[in-house]
Amino acid sequence: MHPTRKTAGIRVPDSIIAQSLIEAMGNPIISITAKIDVPEENDFSYLQPDEIIDIFINLVDVVVCTDEYHFIGESTVIDMLTDEFSIIRQGAGYEDVAALLEL
């Protein structure tokens, strides 16, 4: 859920771990985005995995580590509440989405 909207987002990750978990469970996974206060010079999206683990280790039940993670930027967000879909935020995968929506 978005904090100021009454909508839910659906993420389709290009991650073998996420896809394997979804397949094993046989259902979508409900999760939230981890929001933390990080000084501007230490943008959270560019922290190293060990730094992320240090921040969240006492706040989560499981940490899955992999050598195959590559942050590609913020996700593309599509508004699908009407018959005419629109891009709310351009991000990773935007070109593919735009081609599908013929933008």
Q: What pLDDT, on a 0 to 100 scale, did the predictor assign at position 65?
A: 77
Local mean pLDDT, 10-residue blocks, the chain (103 residues): 68 80 88 67 66 84 76 79 84 84 74
The residue ranges of every structural domain in the chain are 36-101
Alpha-helix runs per DSSP H in the chain: 16-25, 49-56, 94-101
Instruction: Tell me the three state secondary structure of residue 92.
Output: strand
Q: What pLDDT, on a 0 to 100 scale, did the predictor assign at position 24?
A: 94
Q: What pLDDT, on a 0 to 100 scale, did the predictor assign at position 55?
A: 83
Q: Which of 16, 14, 51 is nearest to 34 (CA)?
A: 51
Instruction: Say if residues 76 and 91 touch (Cβ distance below 8 Å).
Output: yes
CA distances, 56 to each of 42, 51, 61, 92 (Å): 16, 9, 10, 25
Q: What pLDDT, on a 0 to 100 scale, did the predictor assign at position 103?
A: 65
